[in-house]
C-alpha cells in the first residue's frame, strides 16, 4: 500500500449540503423491546459477523453507537452490514475522520494511517453515508445513546472523574455509550453509591446480566465489537431488555487470524494488527 505522507492526502470529495443520505427505516421504539447495542466495530467484519450470529433471534432492534470504520480491513462490508441490521446509527470520531469531517490530527500515527487507507477504500456511497451520520445523543424510548458522552461525542468516559458528574446530571437514562472500547460502564445505586460495572472476562457468550434497579442511574458500555481494549480480545456487545429491565453483556471469540491476514495484505500498520490479539 502506498500511503501519502500527512499533508499530501487526497482531498475528500465534497458532498453537497443537504444531501439526503440517511434512509432509516424507523419504527416506533417500544420500552418492552430488546435492543442489540453495537459499538466500535472498526471495519472488523469477522468480529461483526460473529456478534450478529450470537445475537440472532435475541433482539428486536439493533442500534449502533458509532465507529463503524477505522483500524480494520473491511470498511465497506461492515457499513453494508450495519446498515442492514441497525435501525439507528450515530457517528463516532473515526467515522468523522474517515468521512473527511475532521482531519485526524489528534489520532496517533497508526490510527491516522488507517484513516487515510479507509478513505481510499470507501465507495462514494459509503463515504456519503458516513458523512451524513447524525451525532449523538439520540433520545429513544426510555434510554439514550451517545458515542462518547452526553455533552461531547468525542469525550471518553474512563472512570469516576467523567462518570460521576455525568451520572449525577442524567435526566434520561440509562445512557449507552462507546468510544473507550471497555465493556461495562458505571452506575449510581438507588442509595447513591458509585459503582464500576465489571464483566467476567474469560467467558464466552452471555457473561453478565446487570439488573437496572428502580432509582439507579446507569452509563452502559456494550464494549467494542471490532477492537476491544479491556484486556479481552473477544468481540463485545450488549442487549438492553426493556421489559426485564436489565442489560446482558456478551463476549464471543471470532476468526481473528483471518482479520489479521486481511490487515497484513492491506498493508495496515503492524501494531494495529497485533493489538487485536491482546485486546489492548
Ligand atoms: Zn472506537
The answer to whether the CB of 42 falls within 8 A of the CB of 94 is yes
How far does the centroid of ligand 1 lie from the alpha carbon of residue 194, in Å? Answer: 25
Q: Give residue-wise pLDDT tens across range 192-227.
A: 899 999 887 667 799 899 999 988 999 999 999 999
Distance (Å) from CA 251 to ligand 1 centroid:
17
Which pLDDT value is given to residue 2?
34
Q: How far apart are CA 147 and CA 136, in angstroms?
A: 6
Domain contains 5: no
CA of 100 to the centre of ligand 1 (A): 16
For ligand 1, the distance from its centroid to the CA atom of residue 67, given in whole angstroms, is 5
Q: For the chain, how many structural domains are there in total?
A: 1
pTM, 2 dp: 0.88
Predicted confidence band of residue 168 (pLDDT cuts 50, 70, 90): confident
Query: Quick one: how far is CA 95 from the chain centroid?
Result: 10
17, part of any domain: no
In a domain, 97, yes or no: yes
- Residue 181's CATH number: 3.60.21.10
CB burial string 104-133: b at 16+ within 10 A, e below: beebeebbbbbbbbbbebbeeebbbbbbeb
- Note the pLDDT tens digit of each residue in 176-201: 999 999 999 999 998 989 999 988 76
| 13 found inside a domain | no
Distance between CA 162 and CA 32 in Å, rounded? 30
Domain, as residue range, for 70: 34-278
Tell me, yes or no, whether 24 lies in a domain. no
- Residue range 247-273: mean pLDDT, rounded: 97
Q: Residue 8's pLDDT is what? A: 34
Taking 90 as the threshold, does the pLDDT of residue 31 lie above it?
Answer: no
Residue 9 resides in a domain: no
Q: What is the pLDDT of residues 109-165, one digit of tens each?
A: 999 999 999 999 999 999 999 999 999 999 887 889 999 999 999 999 999 999 998
pLDDT score for 139: 87
**Mean pLDDT within 1-19:** 33
Query: How much distance in Å is there from the Cα of 173 to the middle of ligand 1?
Result: 22
Task: Look at residue 168 and tell me if it is in a domain.
Answer: yes
Amino acid at each position: 500500500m502506498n500511503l501519502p505522507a500527512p499533508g499530501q492526502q487526497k482531498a475528500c470529495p465534497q458532498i453537497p449540503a443537504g444531501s439526503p443520505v440517511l434512509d432509516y427505516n424507523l419504527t416506533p421504539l417500544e420500552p418492552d423491546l430488546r435492543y442489540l447495542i453495537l459499538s466500535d466495530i472498526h471495519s472488523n467484519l469477522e468480529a461483526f459477523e460473529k456478534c450478529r450470529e450470537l445475537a440472532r433471534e435475541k433482539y428486536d432492534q439493533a442500534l449502533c453507537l458509532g465507529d463503524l470504520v477505522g483500524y480494520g480491513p473491511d470498511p465497506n462490508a461492515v457499513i453494508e452490514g450495519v446498515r442492514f441490521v441497525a435501525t439507528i446509527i450515530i457517528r463516532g470520531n473515526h467515522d468523522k475522520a474517515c468521512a473527511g469531517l475532521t482531519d485526524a490530527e489528534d489520532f496517533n500515527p497508526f490510527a491516522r494511517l488507517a484513516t487515510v487507507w479507509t478513505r481510499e477504500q470507501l465507495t462514494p456511497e459509503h463515504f456519503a453515508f458516513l458523512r451524513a451520520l447524525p451525532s449523538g445523543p439520540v433520545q429513544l424510548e426510555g434510554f439514550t445513546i451517545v458515542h462518547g458522552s452526553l455533552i461531547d461525542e468525542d469525550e471518553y468516559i474512563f472512570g469516576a472523574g467523567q462518570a460521576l458528574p455525568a451520572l449525577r446530571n442524567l435526566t434520561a437514562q440509562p445512557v449507552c455509550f462507546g468510544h473507550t472500547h471497555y465493556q461495562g460502564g458505571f452506575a449510581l445505586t438507588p442509595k447513591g453509591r458509585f459503582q464500576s460495572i465489571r464483566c467476567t472476562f474469560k467467558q464466552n457468550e452471555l457473561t453478565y446480566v446487570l439488573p437496572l434497579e428502580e432509582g439507579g442511574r446507569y452509563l452502559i458500555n456494550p464494549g467494542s465489537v471490532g477492537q476491544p481494549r479491556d484486556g479481552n480480545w473477544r468481540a463485545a456487545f450488549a442487549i438492553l431488555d426493556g421489559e426485564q429491565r436489565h442489560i446482558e453483556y456478551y463476549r464471543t471469540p471470532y476468526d481473528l487470524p483471518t482479520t489479521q491476514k486481511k490487515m497484513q495484505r492491506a498493508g495496515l500498520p503492524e501494531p494495529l494488527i497485533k493489538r487485536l490479539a491482546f485486546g489492548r
